[in-house]
Amino acid sequence: MTTPLQTTFVPADADSIAEIEGRVAVFLDPEGAMDPLARRVNRLTRGALARLAESDAFRRMKPGEGHALSMPQGVRAEAVLVVKLPKKPSEEEARKAGAAIARFNASVPLTVLLGARPLPALLSGILMRAYAFDAYRKREEDKPEPNRALSVMVNDAEAAEAAAGAVVAVAEGVFFTRDLVSEPANVLTTTEFADRLEALRDLGLEVEVLDEDALEELGMRTLLAVSRGSETPARVVVMQWKGGGDEKPLALVGKGVVFDTGGISIKPSGGMEEMTMDMGGAGVVAGAMKALAMRKAKANVVGLVGLVENMPDGRAQRPGDVVKSMKGDTVEVINTDAEGRLVLADVLWYAQDRFEPAAMIDLATLTGAVIIALGHENAGIFANDDAIADALLAAAKAEGEGAWRLPLGPAYDKKLKSRVADMANVGGRDAGSITAAQFLQRFVKKETPWVHIDIAGVAYRKDDTDFAPKGATGWGVRTLDRLVRDRYER
């Protein structure tokens, strides 16, 4: 519903600062040293910045935080945000500063006096916070104050323009994910989801939609079993980005349960409306594919999403049912609410069977247990390969997206014993996120480096963070984009 803020770059011109309308953001070194643009603002405001630099308020501010001067004398702007930031900020400090600027950017145009400071992390911070999902608010006064056009005054406008391209591409990807996760399930049905993915063809992605006949033909019976109770049909969508010659692709796999009632093992009604975000994994895969295509990444990446709805009905699967996966292993469905792993089992197998990927990463709002373990600050990471796990954790850290590795092991796997089938779909209350990951690992070939990311706690948040307004966060799009850049791009 939202596209990243309209951003323009203008060459630094201290003389024009007095006449800038709207709001202005300017930077002050922690020691109070001023660049030429800050010096000009200081002169025009008769020393307001110098006074702030010597104040206790400024001393208490952390790098990346801002202090607003409203209706300052000597300039036309209605407010000036003074942001504390070193000349060579860390990415984290720069993103924080960006978030502070985005919060300051409301209802009037904003000019950021960046000068020679590095742009990408700061712009990313601004764009991440400049998002609102207000598609269904009819009354103007109910909508959040819109972010207005952004103009950035820089020493080298051409270089800034070039650097901004990739940042905006990734922001578009994040916003796509947030839009998908924010949509209610009566709008974002499986077929509507598939339609929105097909539209990505315009960006040069190859998109295929597998319908129920095709899934039946492939033997994806654990995925189809979840979908049986729903009126909206199962779909698997395959998105290929071919930017990397003939190398084997990285495969991204997403859980796309457009609504999770729990099925016959129905969930309690309190809070059930949140399960409209149970397609979050598929949303992140879609957003990452969009970002890679928009910035024309020099890598081969294939995104696969399993789209189903988990509903109770006369045709729905029941506890005790035994279903056969595409791999051939049978599963006893003890709990129909442990449906995500049934969907992923078949899509993971299909991804390896068809693409022999160089590595495979799945994302899923898989377990409530991961929220008990890690809260909303970190996604749970599981892997069969230390090198790719370390690379993913490093990418997440660099992007400021929380991630924490949890263990796998044969003792946990034992919990999945079934009295009738090759395995049960649940392993009991203890270590619920780990036994879920063990279930997935049964559908991962030994030779495939694989990471599973449980995003149940981080895909959607009830409070604002530095990087996202409350609601859908798009957690993972930036991490995956960074991982591709660091590890898979030529």
Q: Which residues are catalytic?
A: 267, 341
Is the Cβ of residue 150 or residue 311 nearer to Mn ion in the bound state? Answer: 311
**Closest residue to ligand BES, Cβ-based?**
368
- Decide if residue 237 touches ligand BES (CB under 6 A): no
Is the Cβ of residue 93 or residue 337 nearer to Mn ion in the bound state? Answer: 337
Contact flags string 294-333 toward Mn ion, x per CB under 5 A: ----------------------------------------
Is the Cβ of residue 326 or residue 342 nearer to ligand BES in the bound state? Answer: 342
| Span 214-273, contacts to Mn ion by CB under 5 A | 260
Out of 2, 189, 325, 367, point to the residue binding ligand BES (CB under 6 A).
367
- Decide if residue 399 touches ligand BES (CB under 6 A): no
| Span 258-277, contacts to Zn ion by CB under 5 A | 260
Of the candidate spans 120-128, 168-176, 316-324, 362-370, the one that interacts with ligand BES by CB under 6 A turns out to be 362-370
Of the candidate spans 23-31, 35-43, 337-345, 379-387, the one that interacts with ligand BES by CB under 6 A turns out to be 337-345
Out of 64, 280, 306, 340, point to the residue binding Zn ion (CB under 5 A).
340
Contact flags string 333-352 toward Mn ion, x per CB under 5 A: ----x-x-------------
* Residue 408 binds which entry of ligand BES, Zn ion, Mn ion, none, CB below 5-8 Å type-dependent: none
- Decide if residue 454 touches Mn ion (CB under 5 A): no
Out of 172, 183, 260, 346, point to the residue binding ligand BES (CB under 6 A).
260
- Decide if residue 125 touches ligand BES (CB under 6 A): no
To Zn ion, the closest distance from the beta carbon of 405 in angstroms equals 22
Out of 80, 160, 369, 391, point to the residue binding ligand BES (CB under 6 A).
369
> What's the 3-state SS for the chain?
CCCCCCEEEEECCHHHHHHCCCEEEEEECCCCCCCHHHHHHHHHCCCHHHHHHCCHHHHHCCCCCEEEEECCCCCCCCEEEEEECCCCCCHHHHHHHHHHHHHHCCCCCEEEEEECCCCHHHHHHHHHHCCCCCCCCCCHHHCCCCCCCEEEEECCHHHHHHHHHHHHHHHHHHHHHHHHHHCCCCCCCHHHHHHHHHHHHHHCCEEEEECHHHHHHHCCHHHHHHHCCCCCCCEEEEEEEECCCCCCCEEEEEEEEEEECCCCCCCCCCCHHHHHHCCHHHHHHHHHHHHHHHCCCCCEEEEEEEEEEECCCCCCCCCCCEEECCCCCEEECCCCCCCHHHHHHHHHHHHHHHHCCCEEEEEECCCCHHHHHHCCCCEEEEECCHHHHHHHHHHHHHHCCCEEECCCCHHHHHHHCCCCCCEECCCCCCCHHHHHHHHHHCCCCCCCCEEEEECCCCCEECCCCCCCCCEECCCCHHHHHHHHHHHHCC
Is the Cβ of residue 158 or residue 313 nearer to Zn ion in the bound state? Answer: 313
Which residues contact Mn ion by CB under 5 A? Answer: 260, 337, 339
Which residues contact ligand BES by CB under 6 A? Answer: 260, 278, 335, 337-340, 365, 367-369, 426, 432, 456
